[in-house]
Amino acid sequence: MDWKSLVVVSSVLVFSFLETIFPFFNLKSSFNQRIYPNLLLGIINVSTNSLTITFILHQIWQQKFWLGFLYWVKSPWLAVTISFLIIDLYMYMWHRLMHSLLLTWQFHQVHHTEISMNTSTAYRFHTVEVILSNIPKLFLIWLLGIKPSYLLFYEITLAIELIFHHSNLALPWKLDKLLSYIIVTPNIHRLHHSQSFPDTQSNYASILTIWDKLFHSYSYPKYPEKIRLGLIEYNNHLNIINLIFLPLIKH
Ligand SMILES: [Zn+2]
Ligand SMILES: [Zn+2]
């Protein structure tokens, strides 16, 4: 097992354990209903990524098409920080775009159909969204000359952060609030998954909350325990087949 997989599996186990011992909400769906669709989507997405994106990335790095200024940045710490900030900003913009266009929303809404948000929700993405999101990202990597180790550092941090902020863990309010000055916390992301439409138009960040603050989409929930999660009109679309075809089912 490689490094990244080990970190991801450990994070899933740790946060699944913690959210079971200290749950924030009493989850409405059964364990099987919650886990299987997300797990299967995760397997499909990881397999699709390995066959396409990973192959293209290897081609980019083998050709050493270093065009961007990062190739000329001599300090690795500075280069890794710049890469991290640029990819995280891209992730913010991509997520905001997903909510802005009707076409992209068709795919992203799969993520928002979760009524019992938990660690496995971190993997509940439509495969088309996952593939599409990687196209501008690959271009960015090629254009800036982001090296494999810089990307790996971001990807591992993102994997842990996604599992953390989707978890149903009842983090002490003060700690959640304190962490939210820097990173996306469960309370911050719960608001984004709210049934209320205006609430979903906030907190688009993946790791750093600075992007939401800079672009005026930051909102810390006053009463996080009152948030109702998930798009209720899609509650009957919880199985894997319906989730894959949800963008076609529509209204
Ligand atoms: Zn969203
Ligand atoms: Zn989410």
Angle between helices 127-144 and 53-63 in degrees, nearest 10 = 10
pLDDT for residue 91: 98
Is-contact 69 144, C-beta < 8 A?
A: yes
SS3 23: strand
* Spacing, Cα 11 to ligand 2 middle (Å): 16
pLDDT for residue 243: 84
pLDDT for residue 236: 58
* Spacing, Cα 214 to ligand 2 middle (Å): 20
* Spacing, Cα 73 to ligand 2 middle (Å): 34
| Ordered mean pLDDT values, 10 residues apiece, the chain (251 residues) | 85 96 89 86 91 85 72 88 97 97 93 93 95 93 89 95 97 97 98 94 98 98 94 69 79 51
pLDDT for residue 64: 67
pLDDT for residue 71: 79
Which ligand sits closest to the CA of 96? 1
Determine the Cα–Cα distance for residues 62 and 94; give it in Å rounded to an integer. 27
pLDDT for residue 237: 59
What string of H, E and C letters represents the secondary structure of 52-63? Answer: CHHHHHHHHHHH
Determine the Cα–Cα distance for residues 156 and 76; give it in Å rounded to an integer. 18
pLDDT for residue 67: 64
The CB-side HSE value for 126 (13 A sphere, CA atoms) comes to 24
Which ligand sits closest to the CA of 204? 1
Domain extent listing, the chain: 3-15+34-249
* Spacing, Cα 202 to ligand 1 middle (Å): 9
Q: Six-digit token pair at 9?
A: 């599996």
pLDDT for residue 235: 62
What is the full DSSP assignment across 114-141?
Answer: -SS--GGGGG---HHHHHHHHHHHHHHH
Determine the Cα–Cα distance for residues 36 and 114; give it in Å rounded to an integer. 12
Cβ contacts of 7 within 8 Å, gap of 6 or more: 156, 159, 160
* Spacing, Cα 111 to ligand 1 middle (Å): 7
pLDDT for residue 1: 63
Which ligand sits closest to the CA of 100? 1
* Spacing, Cα 205 to ligand 1 middle (Å): 9
pLDDT for residue 250: 62
Indicate the pTM of the whole model.
Answer: 0.93
* Spacing, Cα 56 to ligand 2 middle (Å): 27
Angle between helices 31-51 and 240-249 in degrees, nearest 10 = 70
What is the full DSSP assignment across 166-194?
Answer: HS-B---HHHHHHHTTTB--HHHHHHHTB
* Spacing, Cα 117 to ligand 2 middle (Å): 8
Determine the Cα–Cα distance for residues 76 and 142; give it in Å rounded to an integer. 18
* Spacing, Cα 47 to ligand 2 middle (Å): 21
Determine the Cα–Cα distance for residues 119 and 149; give it in Å rounded to an integer. 26
* Spacing, Cα 146 to ligand 1 middle (Å): 26
Determine the Cα–Cα distance for residues 115 and 27; give it in Å rounded to an integer. 8
* Spacing, Cα 137 to ligand 2 middle (Å): 19
* Spacing, Cα 61 to ligand 1 middle (Å): 31
Angle between helices 102-112 and 240-249 in degrees, nearest 10 = 150
